[in-house]
Chains A and B, each alone.
Chain A
C-alpha cells in the first residue's frame, strides 16, 4: 500500500511482560526504520533494515529489544521484560532506496504503556 501501517495503535503491558509491535512498510520500499518517541518531541533511532537485513542497530538496547523484517511478513519490534521507561510511542518509517530524493514516510505509531 501507499502508507506505512503500524499495529497495534495502543498496547498496555505490565512491567516484565513482553510487547510486540508490527509495521508494514510501503510496498517496494527497501529501507525500514524504527524510532522511539519518549518525551514530547525527542525521537531516538533504534534500528534500520535494508530489506530483511539489519542495516544499523546502534540504537537498540540489545538485552531486551529485538527486531526483524522477514520476507512477505510485517516487520516487528519486540521488547522482552518491559520496563516502565519503555513507555513511549514507537514509530516505523520506510524509504524507497538510497537516493537523496527519497522521502522518509512514517506510520501513525504504536503507543506502548508499561504499568
Chain B
C-alpha cells in the first residue's frame, strides 16, 4: 500500500530564504508525482508535475526533483516571499490509478 509522507509538517522562514520541502513515498512504481499548494479555505493549485521518467521540473522560482528508486521528491523554493505562505502537498499517481496525497507542509514566510 502506497504511503506518502511530507517533512517538515510546518516551516517558518524569513523572506528571501531558499527552502526545501520533502516528500517520501513507499512504493517506487509511480506514474507521476504532482506538487500542489493550498491556500486557507481554498482548493489545490497545481505547481509542478514530474513524470516517472523525469528527474526534475522547473517553473519560475520552483524546482521539483524526483528520485524514484529512493522514493523521494523535493520541492525547492528560491528567494521565498510572503505570498508563498500556504500548505504544500505532494501527490503520487501510481498503478492503482488514484492519487495518494502526502500529509502536507505548512509554510509561513515572514516579511
Q: Which of B52, B87, B99, B104: most chain A Cβ within 10 A?
A: B99
Determine whether B44 belongs to the interface, using a CB cutoff of 8 Å to chain A.
yes
Determine whether A22 belongs to the interface, using a CB cutoff of 8 Å to chain B.
no
Checking A48, A103, A108, A109 against B98 with a beta-carbon cut-off of 8 angstroms, the contacting residue is A48
Q: Which A residues touch B53, using CB under 8 A?
A: 100
Determine whether A73 belongs to the interface, using a CB cutoff of 8 Å to chain B.
no
Q: Which B residues touch A106, using CB under 8 A?
A: 36, 43-46
Number of A-B contacts (CB under 8 A): 58
Determine whether A42 belongs to the interface, using a CB cutoff of 8 Å to chain B.
yes
Q: Is there an interface contact between B98 and A104, defined as CB atoms closer than 8 Å?
A: no
Determine whether A72 belongs to the interface, using a CB cutoff of 8 Å to chain B.
no
- Cα–Cα, bound, A104→B91 (Å): 10
Binding site for B on A (CB under 8 A): 33, 35, 40-43, 45, 48, 55-56, 59, 91, 93, 100-101, 103-109
Binding site for A on B (CB under 8 A): 31-32, 34, 36, 38, 42-46, 49, 51-53, 87, 89, 91, 93, 96-101, 103-104, 106
A sample of 18 inter-chain contacts (CB < 8 A) reads A33-B99, A40-B87, A40-B104, A42-B101, A43-B89, A43-B91, A43-B101, A45-B98, A48-B98, A56-B97, A91-B44, A100-B52, A101-B32, A103-B34, A103-B46, A104-B46, A104-B99, A109-B42
